[in-house]
Every structure is written in structure tokens, then in C-alpha cells.
Amino acid sequence: MSNEQQWDLVIKPKTGWFDIHLGELWRYRDLIGMFVKRDFVTMYKQTILGPLWFIIQPLFTTLVFTIIFGKVAKIPTDGIPPFLFYLSGNVAWGYFATCLGRTSDTFNSNAGIFGKVYFPRLTVPLSSVISGLLQFSIQLFLFLGFYFYFMLKGTPLLPKFWIVALPVLLLQMALLGFGMGVLVSSMTTKYKDLRFAMGFVIQLWMYATPIVYPLTLVPDWLRPWYVLNPMVSVVECFRYAFLGSGAIEWRYVASGWLVTLLILFTGIILFSRIEKTFMDTV
């Protein structure tokens, strides 16, 4: 073979824990776009209401929370109308839960594709994170509709400059959901029970996040450990930005980002390691 011949793509086995080529994701951006379209079409192709489920789900969940936690349990909401308080938490939580739920089953749900052709495996969970943006956008507009409705009724809402940080909060939720999802997905190739436990874990995680109660109800002695949950700072920042309520501090934000990046790094490393041999275990 002539030494002058140049290959467009060279596929080599990965030999180390840190042998990761994230630059490939950009080269395969068209494939990511196809996966995004596939995720959306296959999920709602045979449904009657289609994307309306993006509105129905948080709306009914918020109504249940308002009745159970607001009217029956009478949990305080820091002076914010309970419906708006719970809706803001559901919108912020919904995108993360979607990212985590979809990416956590990457290896098992795509084993047929992975076993036939080469492409960067991280394109699949990344496409799930991107496709979830449509859901978040629709639910955000739903929240803004009720937000302006309550403002017109004279509810004293105090939006803060933190609203401009919404893309940063969205990025953190995406990175956290992506990192935790690929971490769990890597572990499910060997421990199948995790697939059945994920719904339960996501539910417990939600109650460990200030969705149905404000952060101010968490005891001071517990709060330094409680805020290690990265979604605590995300939800509180979201509420503080739009509603003007919350007990957020810079150290909470910093600890949340630190844990998020740690989970992301660990997830990518483990995912890259497992993808070499996952066909033997899936």
C-alpha cells in the first residue's frame, strides 16, 4: 500500500480508561440529528395526543401536588401560590428526569444497532439529551403562561436577574442527566436489576429535591449534605429567577456543579470502558 494513501477514517481499538475521542461526536453530528428525529417520531407516532402529553403530564402532576401537598398536607411554599410553586419544580425536574430515564437504557435498547455498525456510542445518549429540549421548551411555555396569568391577577412575583442564567441551568441539567444516565447504562450491562430500579430511583431522587417543599424547610444541620444533590441548586435557582423565592447561595451552586462534573466525568469514563465488551453481556 502506498505511503501517500490517506484514510478518511481509521478505527482502532480502545486500550485505556482515558482513550476517549469526544471530537468524533462533532463529525457524527448528522447521525445525532437522525437519532433526535428517531426518538421523537417513535415515541409519539402512534399516540392520539402526541406532544400534548408534554403539557398534560406536568399539568396533572402539579394539580395533584397542589391538592395533596398544598391543601391536605398544607406544606408552606414561601408565599408563592402553590400551583405556580409546584409547576416550576415540575418543569425544572422534568427535563433532568427525561434525560436520565432515556440515557440510562442506552446499551440495552440499542444493542441491535451497536452490534452491526461502528459509530461513536455516545451519540445515542447525547441525542436523547437534545431531543428532551423540545419537551422542556413546551413545558417552559406552559409555565410562563400561568406565570403571566398570576402576575395579571396581581400576585406579587419578583423575577430576578438570574433569569439570564436559564441556559446555564439547562446545561447543568443536561450534563447531569447525561452523565448519570451513561453511568447507570454502563452498570446495567452487568447488573440487570438496575433497569427495573431506575423508575423507583428517579422517584426517590425527586423527593430528595425541593419539588414539593421549599429548601427553607430543610434543617440547617442537614442542608450542607442535602445540597450535594445537584438538582437542589438547579430547582432553587429556577424558582428564585422567576418567582423571587428560594434559599440559594453561591456555595450551593458551586457544590452542585462540582458533583455534576464529577458524575459526568465518571459516567463518560465508565461508558467508554464498558462499550468495548458490552456485546458479551447484553
- Contact of 129 with 178, CB cutoff 8 Å: yes
Asked if residue 83 has pLDDT above 80, the reply is yes
Please report, rounded to a whole number, the percentage of residues in the chain having pLDDT higher than 70: 80
Is 237 a domain residue? yes
Number of domains in the chain: 1
pLDDT of residue 278: 57
- Contact of 211 with 203, CB cutoff 8 Å: no
Average pLDDT over residues 90-116: 80
* Helix axes 193-207 and 166-188, enclosed angle (nearest 10): 150
Is 39 a domain residue? no
Is 36 a domain residue? no
Task: Determine the distance from the C-alpha atom of residue 248 to the mean position of all C-alpha atoms in its chain, rounded to a whole number.
Answer: 20
Is 246 a domain residue? yes
pTM for the complete prediction? 0.83
Is 71 a domain residue? yes
Average pLDDT over residues 206-217: 90
Is 187 a domain residue? yes
Buried b (16+ CB within 10 A) or exposed e, 153-181: eeeebeebebeebeeebbebbbbbbbbbb
Is 20 a domain residue? no
DSSP letters, 219-277, are: -TTTHHHHTTSHHHHHHHHHHHHHHS-----HHHHHHHHHHHHHHHHHHHHHHHHHTTT
Taking CA atoms, 267 is separated from 51, 109, 122, 178, 221, in Å, by 30, 18, 11, 8, 30
3 state DSSP class of 22: coil
What amino acid is encoded at 280 in this protein? D
The residue that leads in pLDDT, 213 or 6, is 213
- Contact of 163 with 241, CB cutoff 8 Å: yes
pLDDT of residue 126: 85
User: Which of 70-74, 156-160, 177-181, 198-202 has the weakest average pLDDT?
Assistant: 156-160
Give the pLDDT band (50/70/90) at residue 68: very high
Is 29 a domain residue? no
pLDDT of residue 1: 47
pLDDT of residue 194: 73
What number of residues does the chain have? Answer: 282
Domain that holds residue 68: 51-280
Asked if residue 276 has pLDDT above 70, the reply is no
